[in-house]
Amino acid sequence: MEPDIATAPPQPFRPPPSSVLSLDFEQLKTKLSGYLKPEDVGRVEAAYHFSADAHEGQFRISGDPYISHPVAVASIVADWHLDAQALIAALLHDVMEDTHISKAEIAERFGKTSAELVDGLSKLDKIEFRSQEEAQAENFRKMLLAMASDLRVILIKLADRLHNMRTLDSMRPAKRRRIANETLEIYAPIANRLGLNNIYRELQELSFEHKYPMRFRVLSKAIRAARGNRREVVGKVLASIEERLPQWGISAEVQGREKHLYSIYRKMLEKHLSFSQVLDIYGFRVIVHDVPACYLALGALHSMYKPVPGKFKDYLAIPRANGYQSLHTTLIGPFGTPVEVQIRTREMHHIAESGVASHWLYKEDEKTLTELQQKTHSWLQSLLELQSASGEATEFLEHVKIDLFPGEVYVFSPKGKIFNLPRGSTPVDFAYAVHTDVGNRCVACRINGDLMPLRSELRNGDQVEIITAAHANPNPAWLSYVRTGKARAQIRHFMKNAQQEESVALGERLLNQALRPHGLTLGQISNFAWERFLRDRGVRHKKDIFADIGLGKRLPVIVARRLSQAQDQESGRPNVIKPKPAGAIQIRGSEGIAVQLARCCQPIPGDPIIGTIRKGQGLEVHLHDCPVVAKLRGDRGRWVDVEWEPGEERLFDVTIRVLTKNARGVLARVASAIAEEDCNIQSVHMDSEQGAYTALNLTLQVHDRMHLAKVMRGVRRVPEVVRIGRVKADGRA
């Protein structure tokens, strides 16, 4: 699967005796015989020999024959009791990339399902990408989408990555760090999301060791030294728990465990602690028979040691998204040492360690496994939604990364349904978690019955109600505070579609205007001329040309000239139609994304205006005398004549500067004068001037230039007002 990690050119030394490899496979066969039928073991053995022949002469950078890697991956997969098809795919997962074997040949020999699994695990080596990052993102997208159709793809991939991480020592330090970082960012969180706790922890530890080798060694040494100092505490706590639980009539298995290095390191990093300040490096696990016994054991422990307030978490009543269930509590143990305890049933312990792989490992707890499968299925479906909403592969990967980190906030719908969201999520994230349409139509929210802003941060236990409107649309400002990948992807998807539609409409109007000097209109351009124009430029549809013009990627005057030439060639004679004036594009000011009113000069209806085409942003409307436009005078191809469409009833922002004498209540009198003219104040900024004067910068909402003039006349009547003027693009009134 990962030739850059594992594969090297043939080495000059002789390979180890084949008996060593056959011994590895014999151990795998023994493992498989414990749960597979003999005929299935035979099919897996046939895949082993096929893979060994295909990889003949290939070696890993460590010097081991390459076949040792697929056998190790299959052995990890066998620990989860996956079926024969998955084991065959594990043994063949690199043959499509590293050898001449095709998908069709695998399908013919071992079946279509195994071939599909191998294909889902194979990289896109035949496609050229602009960068390493883009290639990596596209490979992840392919793998994650294959996982959405068959979960075994990611289980084999995680086994593949785990073995590569275990044998990473032979790589260059820079490559080790890159692979370790990729594992921490993608593969470890995926293992966690699927509930594969053992794999998750081992990938974290191995990544920490290779990404920060010096820190890993120092912390390992400190842990070894601390073991001797804290052995007495651990032994005393363990003995106390084992003695107390039977007194309460509880039969339990008690395990003491040392926290993993990476989790200690993260705690030190996040809380700015030294190692000596991290007291709870040991934890305990209490495994009981049923759920009532979990709560009874909790009471027994709390009667023995005092619990730390705020450190109790009930993941039995509200399981984590990956199906994990336990009671967590932190106690003050002997000598004031904090002790973390997890309490769970045997079935919960299976799922905590093996997650979705429990489906294959443990068949007895069907109800719990079914719930876990439903949660996993929902997450996989959300990947497909992200894929459809995300354009670029890098964008898709960014959204997946956001969602891979475990959620910490549990909120409720008005009907009592629980939603698990990342910490820092807002009602907008909640709305998209409920349904894409709810998110798109969201206008307001109630949190615990109170109307609250959509950017409010949700807390554990909040009840959230989303208020929707039929004609509402996503707000681009939401992107600044949403946390979930789904919300971010859907908002961007809507904005892209809206921009596309508006750009097509604007581009059509701009091209029609540019054709008028040639004596043509869009309706007069023949299909022959369009086909010739599109073919010469490698474009499939004229809508793409309109969109490019609307977004400023093509100049309408140049497109009009080329279309006119194509039209003349069809008729076989020069254009003798009398040219017409180009005319002006009418602007309403409410077109949306494709047409924007410049913030520098804030044009309003009644102002003389001009449009400029900005690449990738569409048409921007400025005042005729705007200093920003004056700098662009030379580039005439990007100028567009525009005028206001009559009768548009909407409000436009405009800023005025009012110089007043310092006097009590002057701001209130100015605001009152503005309100009397039916005008709203958006914002106020005050500047202290020299002497006894104050400058007020007020952003107002007006209908047009005449409305602004009425407002300014009203403000002039306030006795304390010395001077008033509209703020220009250079900031002066």
Active site residues: 97-98
Interatomic CA distance for residues 168 and 409, integer angstroms: 36
Interatomic CA distance for residues 31 and 163, integer angstroms: 18
Q: Please, what is the angle between helix 84-92 and helix 112-121, to 10°?
A: 50
Give the pair of three-digit tokens for residue 396. Answer: 């898709």
Q: Please report, in angstroms and rounded to a whole number, the separation of the first and last CA atoms in the chain.
A: 66
Residue tagged 């190692």 (tokens):
275
H-type alpha helices, 194-273: 197-211, 213-247, 261-271
Interatomic CA distance for residues 106 and 95, integer angstroms: 9
CB burial readout 586-622, b (16+ within 10 A) else e: ebebebbbbbbbbebbbbbbebebbbbbeeebbbbbb
Q: What are phi and psi of 390, to 5 degrees?
A: -90, 135
Residue tagged 């890098």 (tokens):
394
Residues in Cβ contact with 679 at an 8 Å cutoff, skipping those fewer than 6 apart? 700, 701, 702, 707, 711
Give the pair of three-digit tokens for residue 386. Answer: 């992200």
Give the pair of three-digit tokens for residue 447. Answer: 């949190």
Contact 66, 16 (CB under 8 A): no
| Side chain identity at residue 162, one-letter code | L
DSSP code at position 41: H
| Side chain identity at residue 122, one-letter code | S
Question: Which residue, 224, 226, 244, 223, is CA-closest to 341?
Answer: 244
The CA R_g of the chain, rounded to the nearest whole Å, is 34
Question: Which residue, 77, 376, 80, 322, is CA-closest to 192?
Answer: 322
Interatomic CA distance for residues 592 and 201, integer angstroms: 49
Interatomic CA distance for residues 351 and 197, integer angstroms: 9
Question: Which residue, 618, 636, 621, is CA-closest to 553?
Answer: 618
Residue 463, helix vs strand vs coil? strand
Residue tagged 């602690």 (tokens):
273
| Side chain identity at residue 457, one-letter code | E
C-alpha 409 chain-centroid distance? 17
Interatomic CA distance for residues 393 and 135, integer angstroms: 9
State the Cα angle at 404 between 151 and 495, rounded to 5°: 105
Ramachandran category for residue 335: left, alpha or beta (phi over 0 → left; psi -120 to 50 → alpha): left
Give the pair of three-digit tokens for residue 560. Answer: 């009009």
461, 463, 468, 474: CA torsion to nearest 10: -10
Residues in Cβ contact with 647 at an 8 Å cutoff, skipping those fewer than 6 apart? none
Cross-strand pairs, 65 = 59
Interatomic CA distance for residues 95 and 52, integer angstroms: 10
Give the pair of three-digit tokens for residue 455. Answer: 């950017």
Contact 94, 1 (CB under 8 A): yes
Interatomic CA distance for residues 34 and 32, integer angstroms: 5
| Side chain identity at residue 546, one-letter code | F
Residues in Cβ contact with 93 at an 8 Å cutoff, skipping those fewer than 6 apart? 1, 70, 73, 117, 118, 121, 122, 156, 160
C-alpha 673 chain-centroid distance? 49
Question: Which residue, 120, 74, 77, 122, is CA-closest to 101?
Answer: 122
